[in-house]
């Protein structure tokens, strides 16, 4: 079967499955209940000018599919085990190479102290660990300034462990939830960064490294108000081959890059009361990378923030909107200094993406939704950093504005 | 035609006033393996959000939720501050990120009672009118005595003359059970001078609170300031 049709076939099976079947989701194994849950989505994007997210969206593209399936069982009162498989295709990204999304054993000694180990979703901001689960939100695409879907691999999970817990504060001051973690991140070579670098003749065979950080969130005494902060540090190494930028006639040479500094700070707040949901987040990501075996250095300073709101008008219809603002500065040092020009003016379309979004979500039933979303973007970001707009699918160069229509349907059980 | 309209309006009003429209009283029930007889509103919320797997006394608990209905809606709004959609989203977040499992969802009070009766640590909610055998009722304690059940009528306790003359005072702690309608059903002395406690109990029995969906229990402290 042709690969893109796999996702569509999977989705069709879901859509043809009636509600009763969707609720049949557990079985017994060694006298323990095993829950089965899954989701699938299919999107379509049309843009008026630039091609977006590695797809030929100016022609209209449906290469926007993902699905996942998980099994979970509470083995004892305090021990939870489970795993989820995930697969996606987003233009040139993912390409239907399935991955183990997470696989954890989670033991909670006390409510304020638990440990989980295995491949664990990384907690960063409000939605990093649930960014694939679009059925949880009104939006078809999360704000790309903070949750760039083309480089989800960079932050999505780590093979290692978490320590976590929730502490109830006295005198009705709400509660505090914390997570600290450390592990190894391993990117797919079908991710946005490896794809971006193919324009320079660089091909990764591996990319990953150490990832550690923490998250602290406060459920405040004000009903529905959550505020929090996350920190993520990484030390990654990428290996592969490349064309030398210093001597392109020299042929293919071994390529390596590694982190000199790589950190993310993220601050967020969420207000949810009844039918109203308001989120706001800001993220700063600094990535100082030693490239070409350390002969050059590339420093990216990426800043993004958004404010999003949604209101459920009637039982089956939710409307939402967000404003997302992304900017990047890029500096190069060493042998590569001056070859790509330094970019420091974030007012230029080449160094920012400002995105105004409106969306409507229709819930056809409890398990199936359809979304219609409009994006009105100014800017196209850096051509040396993966931020949605890729030179490979825009060979004639970029135009400053892009309007996008996103249609998406998804099911889950 | 006019008569038909009047009938329709009357039928609409009857529908609006039917008992099912208003969320009736909620009773929180648990498997008899649960040692506690009371649960705080905060603890109840944490249990149903899977933030807590055990109660303060160490008993393991497992939340059970209903699939829908007036009691379900009222419980979610009153104790979790969520709608049914919010709750499904919340549980899905846990399930699909490997942080939790979906709680048992059952279709009726009878199913909830039957499941809780046979499942160690199970805790759920039903209409207070439902017969519930083989389970225990957990009274809900609201933190503070006025934050969630507003005190509408307060009668001050009399300071016994003898104790006042002797300069004996202090704080009396009471556990007050308040009916859904707001009147005080029961008062138990938790701590303090027993004579002062007796006076406080007879006063508190006359207190009236705001109405609620369920019977609640509040801890009340009353100070008797010694004149000396």
* pLDDT 10s digits, A177-202: 999 999 999 999 999 999 999 999 99
pLDDT of residue B7: 41
Among candidates A77, A84, A272 on the partner chain, residue whose Cβ is nearest the Cβ of B98: A84
Beta-carbon contacts of residue A96 (< 8 Å; ≥ 6 apart): A3, A4, A6, A7, A87, A88, A89
Mean of the pLDDT values across residues A81-89? 97
Instruction: List the Cα angle B150/B154/B157 in 5-degree steps.
Output: 140
Mean of the pLDDT values across residues A240-244? 92
When scoring A39, A108, A165, A221 by the number of chain B Cβ atoms within 10 A, the one with the most, hence best to mutate, is A108
CA nearest to A383, candidates A349, A355, A354, A356: A349
**What does the alpha-carbon distance between residue A159 and residue A161 come to, in Å, rounded to a whole number?**
7
pLDDT in tens, B53-80: 988 778 899 999 999 998 999 899 888 8
Contacts of B93 in chain A (CB under 8 A): 130, 133, 136
* Token reading at B147: 């934050």
> Tokens 């404010």 belong to which residue?
A307
Q: Chain A 369-408, CB below 8 Å of chain B: which residues? A: none
- CB of A116 within 8 Å of any CB in chain B? yes
CA nearest to A122, candidates A102, A142, A100: A102
Mean of the pLDDT values across residues A116-124? 98
A57, A45 in Cβ contact below 8 A? yes
pLDDT band of A18, cuts 50, 70, 90: very low
Beta-carbon contacts of residue A329 (< 8 Å; ≥ 6 apart): A300, A301, A343, A344, A346, A351
Instruction: Give yes or no for residue A384 having a pLDDT over 90.
Output: no
B83–A275 CB contact, under 8 Å: yes
The SS3 assignment for A150 reads helix
Beta-carbon contacts of residue B106 (< 8 Å; ≥ 6 apart): B64, B65, B66, B67, B112, B115, B124
CA nearest to B205, candidates B228, B168, B179: B179
B46–A102 CB contact, under 8 Å: no
Contacts of A70 in chain B (CB under 8 A): 95-96, 98
B93–A133 CB contact, under 8 Å: yes
Domains present along chain A, CATH in parentheses: 3-412 (2.40.160.10)
Contacts of B102 in chain A (CB under 8 A): 25, 35, 37
- CB of A32 within 8 Å of any CB in chain B? no
Contacts of A35 in chain B (CB under 8 A): 95, 101-102
Among candidates A39, A77, A224 on the partner chain, residue whose Cβ is nearest the Cβ of B60: A77
In the predicted model, what is the mean pLDDT of chain A? 92
pLDDT of residue A123: 97
**CATH fit for domain B151-224, picks 3.30.2420.10, 3.60.20.10, 3.40.50.720, 3.40.50.300:** 3.30.2420.10
**What does the alpha-carbon distance between residue A228 and residue A283 come to, in Å, rounded to a whole number?**
12
- CB of A170 within 8 Å of any CB in chain B? no
DSSP structure class, residue B225: -
Range in A220-229, A309-318, B11-20, B113-122 the model is least confident about: B11-20
Instruction: Give yes or no for residue A316 having a pLDDT over 90.
Output: yes
Shortest CA distance from B86: residue in chain A: A274
pLDDT in tens, A132-188: 999 999 999 999 999 999 999 999 999 999 999 999 888 778 899 999 999 999 999
Strand partners, B221: B173
pLDDT of residue A341: 84
Location of each CATH 3.40.190.10 domain in chain B: 22-142
Shortest Cα distance, chain B CAs vs residue A177, angstroms: 9
Range in A219-228, A320-329, A360-369, B203-212 the model is least confident about: B203-212
Q: Report the percentage of chain A scoring pLDDT > 90.
A: 82
B186, B220 in Cβ contact below 8 A? no
Residue scoring higher pLDDT (A374 or A244): A374
Establish, for the pair of chains A and B, how many residue pairs have beta carbons separated by less than 8 Å.
82
Q: Chain A 228-267, CB below 8 Å of chain B: which residues? A: none
Location of each CATH 3.30.2420.10 domain in chain B: 151-224
**CATH fit for domain B22-142, picks 1.10.1060.10, 3.40.190.10, 3.90.76.10, 3.30.70.1350:** 3.40.190.10
b/e map of A220-253 (b: 16 or more CB within 10 Å)? beeebbbbbebebebebebebebbebeeeeeeee
CA nearest to B42, candidates A110, A170, A179: A170
Contacts of B99 in chain A (CB under 8 A): 106, 116, 121
pLDDT of residue B24: 41
Mean of the pLDDT values across residues B143-154? 65
Instruction: Give yes or no for residue A268 having a pLDDT over 80.
Output: yes
């Amino acid at each position: 079967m042709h690969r893109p049709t796999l996702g569509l076939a999977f989705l069709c099976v879901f859509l043809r499955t009636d509600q009763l079947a969707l609720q049949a989701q557990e079985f017994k194994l060694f006298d323990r209940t095993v829950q089965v849950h899954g989701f699938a989505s299919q999107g379509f994007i049309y843009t008026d000018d630039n091609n977006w997210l590695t797809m030929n969206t100016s022609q209209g593209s449906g290469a926007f599919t993902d699905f996942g399936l998980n099994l979970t069982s509470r083995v004892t009162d305090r021990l939870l085990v489970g795993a989820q498989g995930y697969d996606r295709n987003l233009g040139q990204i993912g390409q239907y190479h399935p991955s183990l999304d997470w696989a954890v054993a989670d033991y909670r000694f006390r409510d304020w102290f638990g440990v989980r180990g295995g491949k664990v979703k990384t907690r960063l901001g409000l939605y990093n660990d649930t960014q694939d689960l679009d059925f949880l939100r009104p939006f078809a695409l999360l704000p790309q300034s903070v949750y760039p879907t083309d480089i989800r691999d960079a932050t999505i999970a780590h093979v290692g462990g978490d320590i976590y817990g929730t502490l109830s504060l006295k005198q009705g001051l709400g509660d505090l939830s914390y997570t600290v973690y450390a592990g190894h991140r391993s990117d797919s070579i079908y991710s946005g960064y490896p794809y971006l670098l193919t324009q320079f003749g660089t091909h990764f065979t591996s990319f990953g490294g150490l990832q550690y950080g923490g998250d602290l969130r406060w459920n405040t005494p004000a009903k529905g108000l959550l505020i929090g902060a996350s920190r993520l540090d990484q030390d990654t190494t990428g290996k592969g081959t490349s064309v030398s930028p210093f001597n392109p006639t020299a042929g293919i040479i071994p390529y390596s890059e590694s982190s000199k500094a790589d950190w993310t700070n993220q601050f967020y707040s969420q207000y949810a009361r009844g039918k109203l949901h308001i989120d706001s987040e800001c993220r700063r990501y600094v990535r100082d990378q030693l490239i070409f075996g350390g002969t050059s250095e590339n420093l990216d300073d990426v800043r993004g923030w958004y404010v999003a709101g949604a209101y459920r008008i009637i039982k089956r219809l939710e409307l939402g909107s967000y404003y997302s603002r992304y900017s990047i500065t890029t500096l190069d040092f060493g042998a590569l200094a001056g070859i790509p020009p330094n970019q420091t003016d974030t007012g230029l379309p080449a160094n920012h993406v400002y995105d105004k979004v409106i969306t409507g979500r229709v819930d056809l039933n409890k398990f199936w939704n359809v979304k219609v979303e409009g994006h009105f973007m100014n800017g196209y970001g850096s051509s040396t950093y993966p931020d949605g707009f890729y030179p490979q699918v825009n060979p004639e160069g970029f135009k400053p504005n892009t309007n996008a229509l996103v249609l998406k349907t998804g099911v889950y059980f | 035609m006019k008569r038909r309209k009047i009938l329709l309006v009357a039928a609409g009003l009857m529908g609006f006033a039917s008992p099912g429209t208003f969320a009736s009283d909620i009773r929180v029930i648990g498997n008899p393996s649960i040692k506690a007889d009371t649960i705080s509103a905060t603890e109840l919320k944490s249990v149903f959000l899977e933030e807590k797997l055990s109660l303060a006394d160490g008993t393991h608990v497992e939340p059970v939720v209903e699939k829908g209905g007036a009691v379900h809606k009222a419980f979610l709004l009153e104790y979790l501050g969520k709608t049914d959609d919010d709750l499904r989203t919340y549980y899905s977040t846990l399930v699909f990120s490997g942080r939790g499992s979906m709680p048992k969802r059952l279709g009726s009070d009878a199913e909830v009672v039957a499941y809780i009766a046979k499942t160690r640590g199970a805790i759920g909610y039903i209409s207070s009118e439902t017969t519930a055998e083989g389970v225990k009722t957990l009274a809900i304690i609201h933190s503070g005595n006025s934050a969630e059940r507003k005190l509408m009528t307060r009668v001050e306790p009399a300071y016994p003359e003898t104790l006042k003359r002797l300069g004996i005072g202090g704080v009396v702690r009471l556990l007050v059970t308040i009916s859904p309608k707001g009147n005080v059903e029961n008062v138990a002395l938790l701590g303090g001078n027993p004579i002062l406690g007796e006076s406080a109990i007879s006063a508190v029995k006359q207190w009236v609170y705001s109405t609620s969906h369920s019977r609640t229990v509040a801890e009340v402290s009353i100070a008797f300031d010694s004149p000396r």
